[in-house]
Structure 1
Amino acid sequence: MATLFVENLTVLDFSYLHAKRGMVGESWIVDLELTGTLDEQGMLFDFGHIKKAVKKVVDQSVDHRLVIPTGSSCLHHCALQDGQIQLDWRYPQGTISMKAPACSSVLLSGEEVNKSAITLHLMDIVRAVLPDNVSELVLTLREEDVGTAPFYHYSHGLKKHDGNCQRIAHGHRSGIQVFENGRRSRYWEKLWADRWEDIYIGTREDLEGTYFLDEVPHHRFRYQAPQGQFELLIPEDHCYLIDTDSTVEYLAEHIAAQLAQEAPGKAFKVRAFEGVAKGAVAEGFIANGRQGRLNERLMY
């Protein structure tokens, strides 16, 4: 018997529904361990095939989707019809309703979304693409280890994206680094992470209106994207509106500009992450009452 391991096979960037927190953006790293007998090449499973076959089915099952625990008492309505999913999720802060193409979500049995439930879901899918000589599979999901550095969970949708980022309810667990006058500031990092804890970042252009449900204000977002029509209703308190699309480039610029306004005369550099090990960098300052130029670049 031989054992093969693959660390950091992929990163699952998704959102899920929680009974208390509402919609939560998440990023989990996927590690894989396979055990079995060697084939005629002296291999258990070619690394190239693992990356093509296993990574593909893992990404297609959860990545850039909204994960819905079908056994939760918060789920009051969930129906698939004509290639669309419609759901109502009621939790203490209000109601989350979504109408979207069925490909934008995944139904998970059980009362809540956790690593164990998604691991079992993924293992059944992965086993189907493994060769016969592989007899044992260990799949591990984990967060990025950022130590004591601040991070936040956010959800969003990018209607102009030609890939799966267009889905209106997917998200990330993201770190943030803020440098004030060249020195890293945990104060500003923690402040911003608290602002965007379990937040939905919406574009004002996509906001159809604000409505009251049981005296609680809710924002309704709606847009047409290549995969179809997307609609989302979510409590206003769990939203943060920006004037641009919510790409990580724009988010980095937005944070840098806001920091410069809150602390005039100080120069800021922001490294905003989109999930794990990727993101954008932006700089901002206000001098003599005027907004300085924002410089932005990607980091991958």
Structure 2
Amino acid sequence: MATLFVENLTVADFSYLHSKRGMVGESWLVDLELSGELDDQGMVFDFGHIKKQIKQLIDDNVDHRLLVPVDSDQVTITERDKDISLEWIYRGGTIRMIAPNQSLLLMAGPEVTKASLTLYLMDLIQTVVPKNVEEVRVVLREEDTGTAPFYHYSHGLKKHDGNCQRIAHGHRSNIHIFENGRRSRYWEKLWADRWEDIYLGTEEDLEGTYYIDEIPHHRFRYDAQQGYFELVIPEDHCYMIDTDTTVEQLATHIANQLATEAPGKHFRVRAFEGVGKGAIADAGENMPGKTHNSWLSSTPVI
């Protein structure tokens, strides 16, 4: 029996419901191993088919969805036509959501963990691999960012023509902030703390603020290409922005906020959307004698 492997097959960007933290954005890298007898081509499975079939299968079933543990006593789920309505009660308040069923993944078990999602993916992949594949192994892992700060955020982009329009999907994101050409862990930590387990909301999508058990909650609503979306979430787990929450707009927002909070300085922000992608924005005082690339390579950390 032979084993082939594919590292970094895909990145699953999603949000899930946590018993204490509420809604948590996450990004997990997916590594794959397939073991079995060699086929007529001398392969366990063609790498080209893995990238087309298995990657697409994971992206279609997990990526940009809200993962919900259906056996938790904190959740109530109602399915109606093509929509799902749910309520999640946790120590921070109540999360209520109405969304097309394709924007959620209802998972067996009392909580969403790496182990539960790994088992789900192994069973899913087993349905598409050829008969000579006897064993499927999946490893889920976070990006290794060392000691650099990161944050978990959830959001929705109603104008997006793909799955980003779903109102509750998210990312685990690194951030690089340069103050006057020098990387600043101080500012990075400040924003990581500010956006820890946050829902980033767009002012235009906010329908109102209401009290549930004396706790203020924001209600977001919008119609998008995939259908109607509604989300109620505790106000103190939200951060409001007056634009859409694309990563380009988030980078610009952070840079502008930094320039306001620390006047007279120049800031460059590299904001990530999950793993290996993101946007760059500048704000504040200009830095004479520095070019776009030269000062970015000058990276003493302060």
Same fold (TM over 0.5): yes
Aligned counterpart, 1:176: 175
SS of corresponding position for 2:51: helix
Q: Which runs of structure 2 are paired with 1:1-300 in the superposition (5 Å)?
A: 1-75=1-75, 77-286=76-285
Q: CA deviation at 1:37?
A: 1.0
Q: CA deviation at 1:79?
A: 1.2
SS of corresponding position for 1:119: helix
Amino acid aligned to 1:72: S
TM-score calculated relative to the size of structure 1? 0.94
Distance 1:23 1:91 in 2: 10
Distance 2:25 2:241 in 1: 18
Distance 1:285 1:198 in 2: 28
**TM-superposition CA deviations, 1:135-190 (whole Å, max 9, x none):** 11111100000000000000000000000000000000000000000000000000
Amino acid aligned to 1:163: G
Aligned counterpart, 1:292: none
Amino acid aligned to 1:60: D
Task: Structure 1: state its 5+ residue gaps.
Answer: 288-294, 296-300
Check the 8 A contact 1:26/1:173 in 2, yes or no.
yes
Check the 8 A contact 1:61/1:122 in 2, yes or no.
no
- After superposing on structure 2, the runs of 4+ consecutive aligned residues of structure 1 that deviate more than 2 Å are none
**TM-superposition CA deviations, 1:63-85 (whole Å, max 9, x none):** 1000000111211x201111000
Distance 1:124 1:83 in 2: 25
Distance 1:104 1:41 in 2: 39
Distance 2:131 2:70 in 1: 33
Q: CA deviation at 1:240?
A: 0.3
Distance 1:231 1:79 in 2: 14
Distance 1:190 1:230 in 2: 32
Distance 2:202 2:132 in 1: 50
Q: CA deviation at 1:286?
A: 5.0
Q: CA deviation at 1:45?
A: 0.7
Distance 2:5 2:11 in 1: 16
**TM-superposition CA deviations, 1:185-216 (whole Å, max 9, x none):** 00000000000000000000000000011110
Distance 1:121 1:39 in 2: 26
Query: What fraction of aligned residue pairs are identical, expressed as a percent?
Result: 70
SS of corresponding position for 2:117: helix
SS of corresponding position for 2:147: coil
Q: How many residues align?
A: 287
SS of corresponding position for 1:118: helix
**TM-superposition CA deviations, 1:24-54 (whole Å, max 9, x none):** 0000000000111111111111100000111
Check the 8 A contact 1:2/1:36 in 2, yes or no.
yes
Distance 2:251 2:110 in 1: 35
Alpha-carbon RMSD across the aligned residues, in angstroms, is 1.0
Amino acid aligned to 2:20: K
Q: CA deviation at 1:235?
A: 0.2
Task: Structure 2: state its 5+ residue gaps.
Answer: 287-291, 293-302
Check the 8 A contact 1:159/1:225 in 2, yes or no.
yes
Amino acid aligned to 1:67: L
Distance 2:233 2:43 in 1: 50
Amino acid aligned to 2:60: Q
**TM-superposition CA deviations, 1:88-140 (whole Å, max 9, x none):** 10111110000000000011111111000001111111000001111111111
Amino acid aligned to 1:88: E
Distance 1:83 1:92 in 2: 30
Distance 1:160 1:116 in 2: 34
